[in-house]
Amino acid sequence: MKVAIIGAGNMGGAIARGLAQGSQVPAKDITVADPSQSQLEALQTACPELTTTSNNRLAAQDADIVFVAVKPWLVEEVLADLKLQNKQILVSIAAGVSFSDLKKYTGTQDGDMTMFRMIPNTAISLLQSTTLIASSNATKEQEQLMLDIFNEMGLAILVPEGKMAACTSLTSCGIAYVLKYIQAAMQAGIELGIYPKDASKMVAQSVKGAAELILQNNTHPSIEIDKVCTPGGLTIKGINQLEHDGFTSAIINAMKASMQ
Protein backbone atom coordinates (compact mmCIF):
# COMPACT_ATOMS: atom_id res chain seq x y z
CA MET A 1 0.00 0.00 0.00
CA LYS A 2 1.50 3.30 -1.13
CA VAL A 3 0.73 6.56 0.65
CA ALA A 4 1.21 10.15 -0.46
CA ILE A 5 1.10 13.08 1.94
CA ILE A 6 0.62 16.49 0.35
CA GLY A 7 2.00 19.01 2.82
CA ALA A 8 4.94 18.63 5.20
CA GLY A 9 3.90 21.26 7.74
CA ASN A 10 3.01 20.59 11.36
CA MET A 11 0.20 18.13 10.66
CA GLY A 12 1.50 16.61 7.42
CA GLY A 13 4.96 16.16 8.89
CA ALA A 14 3.59 14.64 12.09
CA ILE A 15 1.43 12.20 10.14
CA ALA A 16 4.42 11.20 8.01
CA ARG A 17 6.54 10.57 11.10
CA GLY A 18 3.74 8.65 12.79
CA LEU A 19 3.10 6.47 9.75
CA ALA A 20 6.80 5.75 9.39
CA GLN A 21 6.94 4.55 13.02
CA GLY A 22 3.75 2.49 12.77
CA SER A 23 3.06 -1.01 11.54
CA GLN A 24 0.49 -0.29 8.83
CA VAL A 25 2.60 1.32 6.08
CA PRO A 26 6.34 0.73 5.47
CA ALA A 27 8.29 3.99 5.48
CA LYS A 28 9.65 3.21 2.01
CA ASP A 29 6.09 3.33 0.65
CA ILE A 30 5.42 6.87 1.92
CA THR A 31 6.01 9.92 -0.28
CA VAL A 32 5.70 13.47 1.07
CA ALA A 33 5.34 16.52 -1.15
CA ASP A 34 5.85 20.15 -0.16
CA PRO A 35 7.23 23.31 -1.83
CA SER A 36 9.46 23.98 1.17
CA GLN A 37 12.79 22.23 0.72
CA SER A 38 13.78 22.91 4.32
CA GLN A 39 10.71 21.10 5.65
CA LEU A 40 11.35 18.15 3.35
CA GLU A 41 14.99 17.98 4.43
CA ALA A 42 13.99 18.02 8.11
CA LEU A 43 11.53 15.20 7.46
CA GLN A 44 14.07 13.21 5.49
CA THR A 45 16.59 13.58 8.31
CA ALA A 46 14.06 12.28 10.83
CA CYS A 47 12.83 9.47 8.55
CA PRO A 48 15.51 8.61 5.93
CA GLU A 49 13.41 5.90 4.28
CA LEU A 50 10.68 8.34 3.25
CA THR A 51 10.56 9.70 -0.29
CA THR A 52 10.19 13.47 -0.63
CA THR A 53 9.40 15.68 -3.60
CA SER A 54 8.26 19.21 -4.44
CA ASN A 55 5.90 17.83 -7.10
CA ASN A 56 2.42 17.12 -5.68
CA ARG A 57 1.14 15.29 -8.72
CA LEU A 58 4.22 13.06 -8.88
CA ALA A 59 3.76 12.12 -5.23
CA ALA A 60 0.09 11.24 -5.66
CA GLN A 61 0.00 9.55 -9.04
CA ASP A 62 0.75 5.98 -7.88
CA ALA A 63 -0.55 6.28 -4.31
CA ASP A 64 -3.36 4.13 -2.95
CA ILE A 65 -4.10 6.71 -0.22
CA VAL A 66 -3.57 10.45 -0.65
CA PHE A 67 -3.51 12.65 2.46
CA VAL A 68 -4.10 16.34 1.77
CA ALA A 69 -2.62 18.19 4.75
CA VAL A 70 -2.71 21.80 3.60
CA LYS A 71 -4.53 24.92 4.80
CA PRO A 72 -8.28 24.86 4.03
CA TRP A 73 -8.04 27.68 1.49
CA LEU A 74 -5.47 25.71 -0.51
CA VAL A 75 -7.43 22.46 -0.77
CA GLU A 76 -9.32 23.36 -3.95
CA GLU A 77 -6.15 24.44 -5.78
CA VAL A 78 -4.20 21.38 -4.64
CA LEU A 79 -6.92 18.89 -5.59
CA ALA A 80 -7.42 20.48 -8.99
CA ASP A 81 -3.72 19.91 -9.71
CA LEU A 82 -3.59 16.34 -8.38
CA LYS A 83 -6.23 14.94 -10.77
CA LEU A 84 -6.92 11.93 -8.55
CA GLN A 85 -8.43 8.72 -9.86
CA ASN A 86 -11.63 7.26 -8.43
CA LYS A 87 -9.79 4.13 -7.24
CA GLN A 88 -7.61 6.24 -4.91
CA ILE A 89 -8.62 7.03 -1.34
CA LEU A 90 -8.62 10.73 -0.49
CA VAL A 91 -8.00 11.80 3.11
CA SER A 92 -8.44 15.49 3.94
CA ILE A 93 -6.94 16.98 7.10
CA ALA A 94 -8.41 20.43 6.40
CA ALA A 95 -10.91 21.59 9.03
CA GLY A 96 -14.17 22.94 7.66
CA VAL A 97 -13.79 21.43 4.17
CA SER A 98 -16.83 19.18 3.79
CA PHE A 99 -17.29 16.05 1.72
CA SER A 100 -19.51 18.12 -0.54
CA ASP A 101 -16.59 20.51 -1.08
CA LEU A 102 -14.16 17.67 -1.70
CA LYS A 103 -16.44 16.09 -4.31
CA LYS A 104 -16.78 19.43 -6.07
CA TYR A 105 -13.02 20.05 -6.02
CA THR A 106 -12.27 16.56 -7.39
CA GLY A 107 -15.11 16.59 -9.91
CA THR A 108 -16.59 13.39 -8.48
CA GLN A 109 -20.10 12.33 -7.56
CA ASP A 110 -21.47 10.32 -4.64
CA GLY A 111 -20.12 6.79 -4.81
CA ASP A 112 -17.24 7.62 -7.17
CA MET A 113 -14.38 7.92 -4.69
CA THR A 114 -13.74 6.85 -1.11
CA MET A 115 -13.04 9.89 1.05
CA PHE A 116 -12.17 10.53 4.67
CA ARG A 117 -12.08 13.70 6.70
CA MET A 118 -9.72 13.70 9.67
CA ILE A 119 -9.11 16.18 12.46
CA PRO A 120 -6.08 15.30 14.64
CA ASN A 121 -4.81 17.58 17.39
CA THR A 122 -1.30 18.88 17.98
CA ALA A 123 -0.38 15.96 20.28
CA ILE A 124 -0.06 13.86 17.12
CA SER A 125 3.58 14.98 17.06
CA LEU A 126 4.05 12.79 20.18
CA LEU A 127 1.76 10.02 18.91
CA GLN A 128 -0.82 11.10 21.50
CA SER A 129 -3.47 12.68 19.29
CA THR A 130 -7.22 12.34 19.51
CA THR A 131 -8.07 11.95 15.83
CA LEU A 132 -11.62 12.36 14.56
CA ILE A 133 -12.50 10.40 11.42
CA ALA A 134 -15.54 10.74 9.15
CA SER A 135 -16.02 8.64 6.03
CA SER A 136 -17.81 8.87 2.69
CA ASN A 137 -18.31 5.87 0.37
CA ALA A 138 -16.00 3.76 2.54
CA THR A 139 -16.27 0.07 3.36
CA LYS A 140 -16.05 -1.21 6.93
CA GLU A 141 -12.59 -2.55 6.07
CA GLN A 142 -11.43 0.85 4.84
CA GLU A 143 -12.80 2.55 7.96
CA GLN A 144 -11.01 0.00 10.14
CA LEU A 145 -7.76 0.60 8.25
CA MET A 146 -7.94 4.32 9.05
CA LEU A 147 -8.73 3.58 12.68
CA ASP A 148 -5.78 1.17 12.85
CA ILE A 149 -3.42 3.74 11.30
CA PHE A 150 -4.39 6.58 13.62
CA ASN A 151 -4.77 4.49 16.76
CA GLU A 152 -1.01 4.08 16.48
CA MET A 153 -0.78 7.87 16.81
CA GLY A 154 -3.02 8.12 19.87
CA LEU A 155 -6.77 7.49 19.91
CA ALA A 156 -8.87 7.46 16.72
CA ILE A 157 -12.66 7.80 16.81
CA LEU A 158 -15.12 7.38 13.93
CA VAL A 159 -17.83 10.08 13.97
CA PRO A 160 -20.57 11.24 11.56
CA GLU A 161 -19.57 14.26 9.47
CA GLY A 162 -22.36 16.29 11.07
CA LYS A 163 -20.69 15.91 14.47
CA MET A 164 -17.18 16.88 13.34
CA ALA A 165 -17.48 20.52 14.46
CA ALA A 166 -18.75 19.59 17.93
CA CYS A 167 -16.12 16.90 18.39
CA THR A 168 -13.39 19.28 17.18
CA SER A 169 -14.35 21.64 20.01
CA LEU A 170 -13.66 18.82 22.48
CA THR A 171 -10.40 17.61 20.93
CA SER A 172 -8.57 19.94 18.59
CA CYS A 173 -9.73 23.10 20.40
CA GLY A 174 -10.10 21.33 23.71
CA ILE A 175 -6.41 20.58 24.05
CA ALA A 176 -5.82 24.35 24.26
CA TYR A 177 -8.33 24.63 27.12
CA VAL A 178 -6.54 21.87 29.02
CA LEU A 179 -3.26 23.70 28.46
CA LYS A 180 -4.92 26.88 29.76
CA TYR A 181 -5.83 25.02 32.96
CA ILE A 182 -2.23 23.82 33.30
CA GLN A 183 -1.01 27.40 32.84
CA ALA A 184 -3.44 28.74 35.45
CA ALA A 185 -2.60 26.04 37.99
CA MET A 186 1.09 26.63 37.36
CA GLN A 187 0.63 30.35 38.07
CA ALA A 188 -1.13 29.48 41.33
CA GLY A 189 1.80 27.25 42.26
CA ILE A 190 4.25 30.08 41.66
CA GLU A 191 2.20 32.38 43.90
CA LEU A 192 2.31 29.67 46.56
CA GLY A 193 6.10 29.60 46.38
CA ILE A 194 6.79 26.74 43.95
CA TYR A 195 9.37 27.21 41.19
CA PRO A 196 7.79 27.48 37.70
CA LYS A 197 9.46 24.39 36.23
CA ASP A 198 8.45 22.29 39.23
CA ALA A 199 4.89 23.62 39.19
CA SER A 200 4.59 22.92 35.48
CA LYS A 201 5.70 19.30 35.87
CA MET A 202 3.46 18.71 38.89
CA VAL A 203 0.35 20.00 37.17
CA ALA A 204 1.07 18.36 33.80
CA GLN A 205 1.63 14.98 35.45
CA SER A 206 -1.59 15.41 37.47
CA VAL A 207 -3.52 16.09 34.25
CA LYS A 208 -1.89 13.07 32.61
CA GLY A 209 -2.79 10.92 35.61
CA ALA A 210 -6.40 12.12 35.59
CA ALA A 211 -6.70 11.31 31.89
CA GLU A 212 -5.31 7.81 32.42
CA LEU A 213 -7.82 7.14 35.20
CA ILE A 214 -10.65 7.85 32.76
CA LEU A 215 -9.15 6.04 29.77
CA GLN A 216 -7.83 2.94 31.51
CA ASN A 217 -10.63 2.43 34.04
CA ASN A 218 -13.47 3.50 31.70
CA THR A 219 -14.84 5.46 34.62
CA HIS A 220 -16.62 8.80 35.05
CA PRO A 221 -14.94 12.02 36.28
CA SER A 222 -17.51 12.37 39.08
CA ILE A 223 -16.54 8.97 40.50
CA GLU A 224 -12.85 9.87 40.55
CA ILE A 225 -13.56 13.30 42.06
CA ASP A 226 -15.60 11.71 44.87
CA LYS A 227 -12.63 9.50 45.75
CA VAL A 228 -10.51 12.53 46.71
CA CYS A 229 -13.24 14.69 48.26
CA THR A 230 -13.38 13.68 51.92
CA PRO A 231 -15.98 15.41 54.11
CA GLY A 232 -14.59 18.70 55.40
CA GLY A 233 -11.40 18.14 53.40
CA LEU A 234 -9.29 20.48 51.32
CA THR A 235 -10.28 19.15 47.88
CA ILE A 236 -14.04 19.65 48.28
CA LYS A 237 -13.41 23.23 49.36
CA GLY A 238 -11.48 23.81 46.15
CA ILE A 239 -14.10 22.03 44.02
CA ASN A 240 -16.88 24.15 45.53
CA GLN A 241 -14.86 27.31 44.92
CA LEU A 242 -14.46 26.32 41.25
CA GLU A 243 -18.23 25.99 40.99
CA HIS A 244 -18.84 29.30 42.79
CA ASP A 245 -16.48 30.98 40.31
CA GLY A 246 -18.21 29.47 37.27
CA PHE A 247 -15.53 26.97 36.22
CA THR A 248 -17.96 24.43 34.69
CA SER A 249 -19.94 27.12 32.85
CA ALA A 250 -16.72 28.67 31.53
CA ILE A 251 -15.59 25.36 30.01
CA ILE A 252 -19.00 24.65 28.49
CA ASN A 253 -19.18 28.17 27.05
CA ALA A 254 -15.67 27.86 25.59
CA MET A 255 -16.57 24.60 23.85
CA LYS A 256 -19.75 26.12 22.42
CA ALA A 257 -17.96 29.30 21.35
CA SER A 258 -15.39 27.35 19.35
CA MET A 259 -18.19 25.97 17.15
CA GLN A 260 -19.40 29.45 16.13
Measured distance CA(44)–CA(11) in Å, rounded: 16
Quick: pLDDT tens for 55-88: 999 999 999 999 999 999 999 999 999 999 999 9
pLDDT of res. 110: 86
Q: How many CB atoms lie within 10 A of CB 140?
A: 8
pLDDT of res. 173: 93
pLDDT of res. 53: 96
Fold equal for 3-160 and 174-257: no
Q: How confident is the model at residue 223 (pLDDT cuts 50, 70, 90)?
A: very high
pLDDT of res. 111: 86
Measured distance CA(237)–CA(230) in Å, rounded: 10
Q: How confident is the model at residue 90 (pLDDT cuts 50, 70, 90)?
A: very high
pLDDT of res. 56: 96
Quick: pLDDT tens for 10-40: 999 999 999 998 899 999 999 999 999 999 9
Domain boundaries, the chain: 3-160, 174-257
CA 175 to chain centroid, in Å, comes to 10
> If you average pLDDT over every residue of the chain, what do you get?
95
pLDDT of res. 106: 95
Measured distance CA(149)–CA(130) in Å, rounded: 12
**Sign of the torsion formed by the C-alpha atoms of 173, 176, 177 and 178:** positive
pLDDT of res. 70: 95
Bridge pairing between strands 154-158 and 129-136: parallel
Q: Which residue has the higher pLDDT, 95 or 181?
A: 181
Q: What is the CATH number of domain 3-160?
A: 3.40.50.720
pLDDT of res. 144: 97
- Whether domain 174-257 has CATH 3.30.360.10: no
